[in-house]
Amino acid sequence: MAADALIELRGVNKHYGKLHVLQDIDLTVGRGEVVVIIGPSGSGKSTLCRAINRLETIESGTIRLDGVPLPEEGRALAELRAEVGMVFQSFNLFAHKTVLANVMLAPVKVRRKKKEEAAQRARELLDRVGLAAHAEKYPAQLSGGQQQRVAIARALAMEPKALLFDEPTSALDPEMINEVLEVMRQLARDGMTMVVVTHEMGFARSAANRVVFMADGRIVEDRTPEEFFTAPRSERAKDFLSKILKH
């Protein structure tokens, strides 16, 4: 797998003031791999996810995407970000634009695609996430689950090499979680490289190639879901699992 590494983190460190949120993180995500990051809140998993496309800066270490180190700022960074889609906990759809315009905007402005072409592709993607009928609505007119599916379509419109999910279902009502997870499962089956920060253990079990368990800014375990959920090695992981799997 290391031969075809798409995302590579080596010795990554970051502090928030005195809090050492990322401590010597080493993580490799292979092409086509689905890696689920779980852990208690404050463990640094969201920060790790956001560091991969440099929404969070890091203090030391290297992050490589497809062999290229993340640039500092400016156009080179923007070009690299275009290759990595991101889906946020709070959806972050552009509130002043329709669903269709949300999905089209970056392909037209960043990829310089023709409008008709981008619109057609956007409609295909909206169809894929089951929202073709809502293309002309504004984000505020959609439910949370629908908004998140639009956000996934918007990220896919850039034809990214990898997708990052930062707690994509944590802000959703329970009955809407599955419609989003189903879209994500489909993406995983289609071979998309995904890094998913989530509390959905069912998704981790069924869709992940690897589960990364983080606590206190460190990666504590990095194993297949089957191994991790049936026989966690560390006390931290056992403790965490016992708390969340009880009910």
Partner 1 sequence: MNVLLDNLSLYGKGLLGTVELTVYASLLALVLGFAMAAFRVAPVGSLRIFGTVWVTVLRNTPLTLLFFAVLLGLPRFGLVLPFQLFAVLALGCYTSAFICEVVRSGINTVPAGQGEAARSLGMTFPQTLGLVVLPQAFRSVIPPIGSTLIALAKNSAIAGSFSVVELLGVYKPLNERGYGIVWSFVWIAVGYLLVTLTISALFHALEQRYGVVR
CB of 66 to partner 1, least distance (A): 15
What number of other Cβ atoms are within 10 A of residue 186's Cβ? Answer: 14
Is the separation of the CB atoms in 25 and 61 below 8 Å? yes
From residue 59 to residue 78, the character string flagging contacts with partner 1 as x (rule: CB under 8 A) and all else as - is --------------xxx--x
What is the DSSP track for 194-225? Answer: EEEE-S-HHHHHHH-SEEEEEETTEEEEEE-H
What number of other Cβ atoms are within 10 A of residue 165's Cβ? Answer: 28
Work out whether 110 is an interface residue with partner 1 (CB under 8 A): yes
Among left, alpha and beta (phi > 0; psi -120 to 50; other), residue 54 is: left
Q: Given candidates 88, 165, 228, 240, which one binds partner 1 under the rule CB under 8 A?
A: 88
Work out whether 195 is an interface residue with partner 1 (CB under 8 A): no
Work out whether 105 is an interface residue with partner 1 (CB under 8 A): yes
CA nearest neighbour of 162 among 62, 72, 82: 82
The label of the residue with tokens 């890091």 reads 58
Work out whether 81 is an interface residue with partner 1 (CB under 8 A): yes
Virtual torsion, Cα 93, 187, 125, 66, nearest 10 deg: 80
Q: Given candidates 63, 84, 126, 195, which one binds partner 1 under the rule CB under 8 A?
A: 84
Work out whether 198 is an interface residue with partner 1 (CB under 8 A): no
- Of 150-169, binders to partner 1 (CB under 8 A) are 151, 154-155, 158
Separation CA 228–CA 66 (nearest Å): 28
- Of 125-154, binders to partner 1 (CB under 8 A) are 151, 154
CB of 87 to partner 1, least distance (A): 9
Q: Where along the sequence are the contacts to partner 1 (CB under 8 A)?
A: 53, 55, 73-75, 78-86, 88, 90, 92-96, 105-106, 109-110, 151, 154-155, 158
